[in-house]
Structure 1
Amino acid sequence: MKTIKGPAVFLAQFMSDEAPFDTFENACKWMADAGYKGVQVPTFDPRCIDLEKAAESKGYCDELQGKAKEAGVEITELSTHLQGQLVAVHPAYDKMFDSFAPEKVHNNPKARQEWAVNQLKMAAKASRNFGFKVHATFSGALVWPYMYPWPQRTPGIVDMAFKELADRWTPILNEFDENGVDVCYEIHPGEDLHDGVTFERFREATGNHKRVNMLYDPSHYVLQQLDYIANIDDYHELIKMFHVKDAEFNPTGKSGVYGGYQDWVDRPGRFRSLGDGQVDFSTIFSKLTQYDFDGWAVLEWECCMKHPEQGALEGAPFIQDHIIRVTEKAFDDFAGGKSDDETNKKILGLS
């Protein structure tokens, strides 16, 4: 067994135009003081990284990693969640998702998709330059508006959507493969890869591409009432990244999984700061340890109530307390005796 690394934190939800999260160096220093050992970097935030430079220059990546280490943390992985979303966008969401891309490609879905694909390919090279073996992203979605089968879905529409999604992603996956990096899709509502069944459908559509892997985040499973513990048993060989995020689901007589179009604080399913929700992290960390997961435990802070700084300050010790330092010996070794083949034969009555 291996010991999970951490605690680390995803910087995406913290960066702002105000100190202490106005620059990469300031954010790293604050997170180090809060007890974090690593930071996961959103490549879509120019305050954190210049993705084009990172793709072109290992020296630039070394310099950025040096700044992180000088502040007291290390860069753990890169993320292209927003760019991945734009690889596949249903027209119903064009206007809302334009904000994920530069203004020069707004109102131009084809140009926006091309921009996103190029961003992913640069992220593959940047990950290699940092020496990373895994990368976090979203899949995007073409068929999400038809998630509920009413009106009845037309025959073949889901297969067509996943074939198109796979066709768009395969050149990107090949680029990651050339750079020796696994693509870890966060299984997430709003993505065509939103549960185990859709993840498997996508893998099959890509010809079981070896770079298709999973970012495990139990909070999204709580909100859709999926068994997040059994999910580890089912996919542990493909789980290569881990977001530590809490959630709760409290259905009422008025609202359930779909949330009634309510704001986050009023929905039955809500994201919460670590320890404030219902996720059984003790079992999760035990399961991942059992299956030799040795990646980073990364806080992704999202909460409908608590201030992010409080959530971050509470998150580091929470994760540290759940990381299992694996044992190098069996607990009952003290009671055992030495044995050899001859001794074992005598015990079994074979000699």
Structure 2
Amino acid sequence: MKKKLLKITKWLTLICLALFIFKGCIAAKLEVPYIKPRATTQYWNLPTGSKIAYTHIEGKGIKKPYPIIYLHGGPGGYVYTKNIETLGALSESGYDVYLYDQIGCGLSERLEKVNEYTALRHVKDLEEIIRKIGAEKVILVGQSWGGSLAVLYAADHSDKVDKIVFTCPGAIKPANTSLEKMKAPDSLNLKDTESPNAKVLSIVLNPRYVSIGIWSRFFGKKLASDREVDGFLTSMANVFTKSHVYDPANALPEEGGAGGYCNLNTSVSYGSLKDPRIKLKNSKISVLVMKGQYDNIDWGYTKEYLDLFSNNKFKLVPNAGHQIFAEHPELYINTIKDFLTANP
């Protein structure tokens, strides 16, 4: 009887595995939006081989000497229309404002070789963008992963960075995971947000998406089209962006700019990065760190930015989540303005 049960179990396992593999080979039909160029969309063809989509809002009146460059979250995120509308207000103060979709995201081109999506590639692209702009120095505004990217760039180009605004920044890469255990001061009254993991589990464990991830991360191959993989990430974003705000009613509708392969592969490269903290240990770059009271980034990761950049200002935004710009756009932009004005 025992042998018979083992045999049945073995065959059932093989059948389930065969079904999983079979389903993994069937392209998914996803009902999600896909981003379209705006009237303001322009393109850079960079020496790195990246074709980058961007929006430039020219500074009005007396021009400020250094332009602002916005670095969106992710990896695999993109520039929302709301980002353009909100940060575009800084042009009224004389700042040239640039917002670009990182390679493999938004309206920017997708790469044929998925193993070329690395953190270092994003840094190299930013280097070339700053050369294209021709500015002596720049002001970086980094949201979430964009903050991590700003640190990686500043580590080797501190002479090109005037100021940095970190808004709900992600962990500095490579991440020091022990910081997750750090407790925030009670005075900040930080609140935990509802984890979206359970809600996106059905997508993450979809046989097709699992197969795509295996082929992409382990073999550097595309099992599915960019459009299909972008669609999977957009499906997940429709769920988890609601956890990025204090009030779900303020969650931004997805515009369909998610970069699926960029998301899958960029994180694989973190372990091979040189630690940027060493070069920034005595940095004098002036920084603003903004954090929502309901931000889902662990306090220890936020605190590391304050410890690394001694010339800092910290702003806690009550009743805000990970996307402060979506919930409190006026407070968001006025805080940035005040920081730039107070630190000429």
Whether these two folds match at TM > 0.5 is no
Tell me which of the two structures has the higher relative contact order, counting C-alpha pairs closer than 8 angstroms and 6 or more residues apart: 2
- Could you state the TM-score of these two structures normalised by the residue count of structure 1? 0.30
- Could you state the TM-score of these two structures normalised by the residue count of structure 2? 0.31
